[in-house]
Structure formats: C-alpha cells, structure tokens
Chain A
C-alpha cells in the first residue's frame, strides 16, 4: 500500500531564509506527487504537482525516484508562506490521493 511521510510536524524559519519541507513516499508503481497548502482558516488548495515542473509562489519540488522523495523548497521564505503543507501521492490507477501528516510552517519576521 502507498504511504506518504512528512517527518517534520513543525518547521520554523526566519523571513528570507531558505526552507525545505520534506516528503518521502513508498509506492511500488509510478506515482504522481503533489503539494497542497492550507492557509489559516482556508480550504486546502493545490500548490504544485511534479509533472508540471513549475515554480509556484517561489516554491519548487523535484521528484527523486531513487530516494523516493518529493521535498518542497523555497530559497527565501516570506511571512505569507506560513501555512500547513501536505504532500500527497496519487497511485497509478489515478483514483485516490494519499496524504502525509502535514508540516506546519511558520515564517518569523
């Protein structure tokens, strides 16, 4: 069965510092990976997906199949990046999303 692990429940950085939110997965097939973000009192929204290979709000994430990781990175964190971030995996059959436990990011001024 697929599994997504986010080892850090809480992550705190200062404004302007680099930030990396870790995500590891286990899945026997070829997965599709996503990052979702939930700002305070708002609904979850898609931040980025690995197949798009795009940068959203300065965030990037590279799928590393060898290390089975999909870490989210941003070179210079901003206070408005403070939110809960979820890594998610969609299986080959394309139906279900499996979410990690989430990482609460706080960017301090």
Chain B
C-alpha cells in the first residue's frame, strides 16, 4: 500500500532532550516536506527536500533540522526541544513538483509532540 509513515505517533518529552521524528514513504517520491499544525495558524512548512541531499528551509525552520540521505526517509530532528514546539507534525511527499503535473502531496498520519 502506498503510504507515508511517521514514528512515533505520540511523544511527550522534556525541554532540551533531543528527539527525532521519522518519516518514510514507499512511493519513490522525490519531494518531501515537514509541516506543523497549530490551532488558528493552519499548516506551516518547516523544511522541505527536493531530492536526496537537497533540503531547504520552509516558513518556520528555527529549532529544527532535517536530513535526506535516502530518497524514502526524511527525519525531523529537534536538537533542543522547547515548549513552543509542542504541536502536531505532518510529513508529506509527492513526485517531483511542477505545475500541471499529477503530483498530489500525500500526508502521513501526524505526530503529536508535547514538550514539557
């Protein structure tokens, strides 16, 4: 089944304790992205990647890191989490983006992170 998976789905941690949220897709997609979803703010893009070893900042990259060593994986790293990073995080992937192409973004199930 074609899908985007994220782990863990739920995480409670404390300020300053490094964590990684994994994202994996099995559709051979070039493009992957991380968003955070907050009430009243919608989805905001954190980082995206156009292909292996090609990552770029989104709208709210501060406090986050990503890597794209393999095409299928795009982990999100919080080196020193803070309470304002408490949020619902979504990973998404699509085939190489381009207008007019059938490159729908597929979303993962979400990871709910609480930083105490």
Contacts and interface: CB of A to CB of B under 8 A. Distances in A.
A6 to B, nearest CB: 8
A44 B90 contact: yes
Interface in B1-51: 4, 31, 33, 35, 40-45, 48, 50
A46 interface: yes
Interface residues of A, number: 23
B41 to A, nearest CB: 6
Contacts, number: 55
B58 A96 contact: yes
B107 A101 contact: no
Interface in A1-56: 6, 9, 30, 32, 42-46, 49, 51
A9 to B, nearest CB: 7
B106 to A, nearest CB: 8
A69 to B, nearest CB: 17
**What's the interface size class on B, roughly?**
20 to 34
Main secondary structure of the interface of A (DSSP, over half): loop
30 contacts: A30-B99, A32-B99, A42-B109, A43-B4, A43-B90, A43-B107, A44-B90, A45-B107, A46-B104, A46-B105, A86-B42, A86-B43, A90-B97, A90-B99, A92-B99, A94-B97, A94-B98, A94-B103, A95-B48, A95-B50, A96-B45, A96-B48, A96-B58, A97-B33, A97-B45, A98-B45, A98-B59, A99-B35, A100-B42, A102-B42
Interface of A: 6, 9, 30, 32, 42-46, 49, 51, 86, 90, 92, 94-102
